[in-house]
Structure 1
Amino acid sequence: MTKPSVERPPKFDPSKVEFEKIGKYFSKYDVTDEKGNYLHWDKFKWRVPRAEATDIWFAVKFKRYMQMKPLALLASTGEVFTYCIPHSVDSKLHRIVKLAGGSVASIAGSKAPESLQSKFLVSSLIMEEAISSAQLEGASTTREVAKKMLEEERPPLDEDERMILNNYMLLKHAELTRDDPLTLDLILEFHRIATQGTTENNVVPGEFRKTDDIYVSDTNDEISYQPPSFEEIPSRLLSLCAFANQDHSGDNGCEFIHPVIKAIILHFMIGYEHPFRDGNGRTARALFYWYMLKCDYDLFRYVSISKLLKDNPKGYGLSYLYTEKDQNDLTYFIDFQVEIILKAFEELQSYLESRSSEFQKVVKLLESTKYNSSLNFIQKDLVKKGAKEPGRIFTVKEVSSSYDVSENTARTHLNGLCDLKLFMDTKDGRKTLYISPSDLVERLTKKNGPVKSEKAGELVSKK
């Protein structure tokens, strides 16, 4: 990924602070500006008197230094990574915790019915993150085509679709392994799933890079960042695993690192180490989700950060460079990411309110249209479930168990919905899968539809 060009700020050395020069600025300038922005020198220098810029910068850096928390993670130079939590970031964290600690229904607001459960729309929302994450890395497949591929479980037709399918499987695997400790093998497995079947940059799925011909260029085609040597990757990632697995709960006197902050740090470090020839971003974002789920922030399953990162790739790139070029201060990256997370929750809320409203329309439609007489109770309930969760897969065995009917009866109900074009069916080996399409609501509102035959339970279409 090409990143913007960034000027390295004057280096701050706390042992050489000249208080007689910078002390007069302490009352006027703080860790952030008056709007709560944690400014890098790149922007800061233009917002203060030019002749005094360096001294004012050192005054601000001293205040930041006094709040800094060191991490047991080292840059390639041997210096430690640090971060602080300004009031503006602390406020955002508080809002994230309030949102993430609720239910899907509470996120959707009063428009969401109380009956909505935590799995509401999970397939559709995980698909959204999988698609956006791939598009962030350059996949050009449209959202509609990609979602249809995932819903129908058809094989990918090209490498872009393969990347999207891989991301979908990667997010599923992150949830499956949420209780496991972080190991080199797990990182490699994340990468293998993310890149299997792709050839970009001669990537070898599940294998660390073996050369140092990897670098990130800026908009001037100059090298803005080169990751640590490939020879150091195993040892450096072992340190990252130790950090991830260490108790930072604050209990019994241990250090406290907020789980959201820690997940963001894990995200950053994979990008910083750049251990693979390709797929670092996808692996990093999967690790972020993995840690959030490990800490029981289950609502993060429904939040797509990649969509917003894709919409602001410059900000994403700058947040990396600001950290790398200002003495490993992770606050820049943390501040950017918490803002992204908050916006992602806002988008989730809008999406859920919209889908919840559609679900209520489905309920009314089933009571007032021709489908009310064409469908039996079980079929109506299946349609309601399908409307709540577009892309949901039903099986004969599942329906048989849920409604306490024979498998033959369950198959009849599902095939009837397919005959009406309300559901779709597909083969998985010898097993038939039944899928609720993403446009189920639109299908229900079509004027011309089926009628019920004289034979009970048999569904036919109008001629």
Structure 2
Amino acid sequence: MAKPRVERAPKFDPTKIDYEKIGKYIGKYDVTDAKGNYLHWDKLKWRVPKAEAIDIWSAVKFKRYMQMKPLALLGSTDEVFTYCIPHSVDSKLHRIVKLAGGSVAAIAGSKAPESLQSKFLVSSLIMEEAISSAQLEGASTTREVAKKMLEEERAPLDEDERMILNNYLLLKHAELTRDEPLTLDLILEFHRIATQGTTENNVVPGEFRESDDIYVSDSEEEIAYQPPPFKDLPERLNLLCKFANEDHSGDNGCEFLHPVIKAIILHFMIGYEHPFRDGNGRTARALFYWYMLKCDYDLFRYVSISKLLKDDPKGYGLSYLYTEKDQNDLTYFIDFQAEIILKAFEELQTYLESRSNEFQQVVKLLETTKYNLTLNFIQKDLIKKGAKEPGRIFTAKEVASSYDVSKNTARTHLNALCELKLFMNTKDGRKTLYLSPSDLIARLTKKNGSNRTSKIEKIPS
């Protein structure tokens, strides 16, 4: 993904401050602008008088320096990474924590048992994130085709679909390993899952790059960023693992680092180190989710950041470059990612409300029929899907995947709908297919429910 061109910010040296030159600007300019924007030199220089730009920048940097917190992480030139938390970022963190502490059931407004609903939503939304993450990296498969592939658990047909399946398995693995410490082996395992069966940039799944011919280009195809030398990767990534595993709870006198900020930093550092020939972005985003789940921010299983990053690739690229081109100031990336997370929660709420409204429409319809007390949540949701898409074919495998239940349980739900003559079934070889009839709504509302046939002709193989 090509990144925009960015001018490197003038270097700020706290030991060489000319207070006489910047004094008159310190009271006028702050860490952010009046709207809370944490401006890089590349933007600030156009918003102030040209002749005073350098002195104004020095005044802003001085105020930022007074709030800076150093990290035990080094850039490629051995300059430490730092960050600060201006009021605008602090406000975003507060809202994120408030949202992340909420209940999915409350947001969705569904009457489904919370445990069952959570399983269903986790499966569905992990699919959304897996698809968006692959599309962010260039996969061209449509969302509808990709979702159906994951639901039916069919084998991918090409490398784009393989990338999506890999991402889905990667996010599942991130949740599975949430209680493990970060190690080089775990990072390599994340990457192996992310890139298995792909060939982009001659990637070797589960292995660090062994050359320095990898770089990030800008919009004019020139080198925008050159990652650290490959020979330094083991040492640098071990340092990152140490940082990830260190206690930053603030308890017993240790330093406090907000978990959301720490997860964002881990995301950034994989992109910065660029340890692999391909798949760095997917591995970085999986590591972000891994750490959020490790810190018991369970609601992050439901949010998709990749969709929003895909919608704003320029902002995503700039947030990396602003940090790299301003003395490793991570605040730019933290601020951008915090905004993305908030938008992801907004999208989650819209999505849940939509799904809940669709479900409640079916529930309302069923309340007037004899099936109201007969059907459970999964069966009602299958009817909702069938009513929305007459003629849709379901399989036990797809239903098991969508609702995170066993195939036998899925088959039981589908057979029950056939016995009630709401669905029809047929054989395709050894596989049983279940279809939603075009007159499903009529069948639901028919008083005697005496529809005769629940079988249709065999589909030719």
Q: Which of the five TM-score ranges fits, normalised by the shorter chain?
A: 0.7 to 0.9
TM-aligned CA deviation for residue 107 of structure 1 = 3.5
- Shift in Å at residue 412 of structure 1? 4.5
Q: Which amino acid is the alignment partner of residue 391 of structure 1? A: S
Partner in structure 1 of residue 68 of structure 2: 68
Are 1:143 and 2:143 an aligned pair? yes
Q: In structure 2, do the counterparts of structure 1 residues 302 and 434 end up closer, same or farther at CA, with 3 Å as the change threshold?
A: farther
Partner residue in 2 for 1:340: 340
Give the Cα separation in 2 of the matches to 1:74 and 1:333.
16
Q: SS of the counterpart of 2:139?
A: coil
Give the AA of the match of 1:138: G
- Structure 1 residues 419 and 361 mapped into 2: Cα distance closer, same or farther (>3 Å)? closer
2:119/2:404 contact within 8 Å kept: no
Name whichever of 187-196 and 412-421 sits farther off.
412-421
The aligned counterpart of 2:212 is: 212
- SS of the aligned residue for 2:51 comes to helix
Cα 1:103/1:199, change in 2 over 3 Å: same
Matched letter for residue 420 of structure 1: F
Alignment length (residue pairs): 438
How big is each residue's C-alpha offset from its partner over 1:309-366, in whole Å with a ceiling of 9 and x where there is no partner? 0000000000000000000000000000000000000000001011011111121233
**TM-score, normalised via structure 2 length:** 0.87
C-alpha distance in 2, partners of 1:52/1:120?
57
Contact 1:418 1:425 in 2 (8 A): no
Instruction: State how far apart, in whole Å, the 2-side matches of 1:434 and 1:210 are.
Output: 49
Question: Shift of the alpha carbon at 1:221?
Answer: 1.7
1:24 is aligned to 24
2:299 matched residue in structure 1: 299
Aligned-pair RMSD on alpha carbons?
Answer: 3.0
Instruction: State the Cα deviation string for residues 413-448 of structure 1 (Å, max 9, x = none).
Output: 376589815x99999xx9x8999x9xx8x9786557
Shift of 1:220: 1.9
State the 4+ residue runs in structure 1 displaced beyond 6 angstroms: 423-427, 432-435, 448-451
Q: How does 1:176-215 map to 2 (within 5 A)?
A: 176-215=176-215
CA deviation after TM superposition for structure 1 residue 461, in Å = 6.9
The residue aligned with 1:384 is 380
Deviations 1:263-300 (A, max 9, x none): 00000000000000000000000000000000000000
Give 2:388's aligned residue: none
Aligned counterparts, 1:268-283, within 5 A: 268-283=268-283
Residue 105 (structure 1) shift:
2.6
The equivalent residue for 2:259 is 259
C-alpha deviation, 1:411, in angstroms: 8.1
After TM superposition, the structure 1 = structure 2 runs for residues 221-370 of structure 1, keeping only pairs within 5 Å, are 221-368=221-368
Aligned-partner Cα distance in 2 for 1:8–1:413? 65
The answer to whether the 8 Å contact 2:363/2:380 transfers is: yes
Tell whether 2:167 aligns with 1:167.
yes
Once the two structures are overlaid, the 10-residue window that deviates more, 385-394 or 245-254, is: 385-394
Deviations for 1:225-284, whole angstroms, at most 9, x for unmatched residues?
Answer: 100011111111000000000000000110000000000000000000000000000000
Please tell me whether the aligned partners of residues 217 and 225 of structure 2 are also in contact (alpha carbons under 8 angstroms): yes
CA distance, structure 1, for counterparts of residue 255 and residue 420 of structure 2: 56
Change over 3 Å in CA distance of 1:444–1:146 after alignment to 2:
farther
Matched, 1:395 2:398: no
- Kept in 2, the 8 Å contact 1:67–1:84? The answer is yes
Shift of 1:367: 3.2
* Aligned counterparts of 1:426 and 1:9: Cα–Cα separation in 2: 65
Residue of structure 2 in register with 1:413 after alignment: 416
Partner secondary structure for residue 391 of structure 1: helix
Is the Cα contact below 8 Å between 1:260 and 1:292 reproduced in 2? Answer: yes
| 1:32–1:39 CA contact under 8 A, matched in 2 | yes
2:158 alignment partner in structure 1: 158
Which consecutive unaligned segments of at least 5 residues does structure 1 have?
Answer: 400-406
**Residue identity matched to 2:403:** R
1:102–1:59 Cα change, 3 Å: same
Kindly report which structure 2 residues correspond to 1:74-89, keeping only aligned pairs within 5 A, or say none.
74-89=74-89
Report the secondary structure of 1:82's partner residue: strand
Counterparts of 2:54 and 2:77, CA distance in 1 = 24
- How many angstroms apart in 2 are the aligned matches of 1:410 and 1:22? 72
Change (3 A) 1:193 1:241: same
User: SS at the partner of 1:70?
Assistant: strand
Contact 2:112/2:377 (<8 A) preserved: no
Q: Percent identity?
A: 74
Over 3 Å counting, the alpha-carbon distance change for 1:106 and 1:366 in structure 2 is closer
